[in-house]
């Protein structure tokens, strides 16, 4: 059975994805900051090995790959931190924390995975970005800029690895009913379940997609929004 390493495995999307891939025959390696919660996810998936990983800690980032008993066949990166934009405006360190957790802190381990997969001639890297990275918005530009960087990184990695046997899938969810949305009141029609995102992700892996918007209607909606001239977009205060 193929093995998948899940980074940030206690997040809502990661938990749903882990169950979906486990049900499809994948063996799981779960990594994250909270070992107790990782073990709960492992039990829900029928069993998995768990490993400590903190994208904000350079020692943890460097150590993870060496802790794995074997090189996985795939890596799913589901690490994410929404943060608070008002706080980020007042405190630069808070903005940097968001950027590090969503982008720069993930690069080292994904580069390790890419190197190992390329040497083997096979592998799959799945990065969960966000529709928030398609264009900067006043309400969340710290988070959005980090996701924009992560999207560009995955796109470049996909181009570099093309023809090597290694695939890179960029997943761009919209609003998802996870802890990130706690306290926010949004129309139910625009909020997807983690299970929906997991199903779409599994289907994208099977069909060989490069970029997945989930739900799919986010793709044309973001295309329209990104086509707006900056002089108009900045007035929307989204």
- Catalytic residue numbers? 143
- Determine the Cα–Cα distance for residues 64 and 58; give it in Å rounded to an integer: 10
Distances (CA, A) of 165 to 105, 158, 201: 25, 11, 19
What are the CB-based long-range contacts (under 8 Å, 24+) for 133-140?
Answer: 133/172, 134/172, 134/222, 134/225, 134/226, 135/222, 135/225, 135/226, 135/233, 137/238, 138/234, 138/237, 138/238, 139/85, 139/237, 139/238, 140/82, 140/85
- Residue listed under structure tokens 């926010």: 184
CB 56 within 8 A of CB 97: yes
Closest CA to 226 of 149, 154, 143, 136: 136
- Determine the Cα–Cα distance for residues 6 and 77; give it in Å rounded to an integer: 6
- For residues 10, 14, 20, 23, the Cα torsion angle rounded to the nearest 10 degrees is -40
């Amino acid at each position: 059975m193929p093995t998948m390493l899940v980074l940030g495995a206690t997040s809502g999307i990661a938990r749903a994805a882990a169950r979906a891939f486990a049900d499809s025959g994948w063996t799981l390696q779960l990594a994250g900051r909270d070992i107790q919660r990782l073990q709960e996810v492992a039990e829900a998936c029928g069993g998995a090995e768990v490993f400590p990983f903190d994208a904000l800690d350079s020692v943890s980032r460097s150590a993870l790959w060496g802790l794995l008993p074997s090189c996985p066949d795939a890596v799913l990166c589901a690490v994410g931190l929404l943060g608070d934009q008002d706080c980020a405006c007042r405190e630069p360190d808070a903005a940097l924390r968001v950027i590090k957790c969503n982008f720069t802190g993930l690069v080292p381990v994904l580069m390790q995975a890419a190197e190992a997969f390329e040497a083997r001639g096979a592998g799959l890297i799945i990065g969960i970005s966000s529709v928030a990275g398609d264009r900067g918005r006043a309400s969340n530009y710290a988070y959005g800029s980090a996701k924009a960087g992560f999207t560009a990184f995955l796109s470049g990695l996909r181009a570099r690895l093309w023809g090597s046997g290694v695939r890179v899938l960029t997943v761009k969810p919209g609003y998802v009913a996870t802890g990130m949305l706690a306290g926010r009141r949004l129309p139910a029609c625009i909020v997807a379940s983690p299970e929906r995102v997991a199903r779409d992700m599994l289907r994208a892996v099977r069909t060989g997609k490069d970029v997945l918007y989930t739900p799919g209607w986010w793709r044309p909606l973001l295309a329209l929004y990104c086509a707006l001239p900056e002089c108009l977009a900045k007035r929307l205060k989204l």
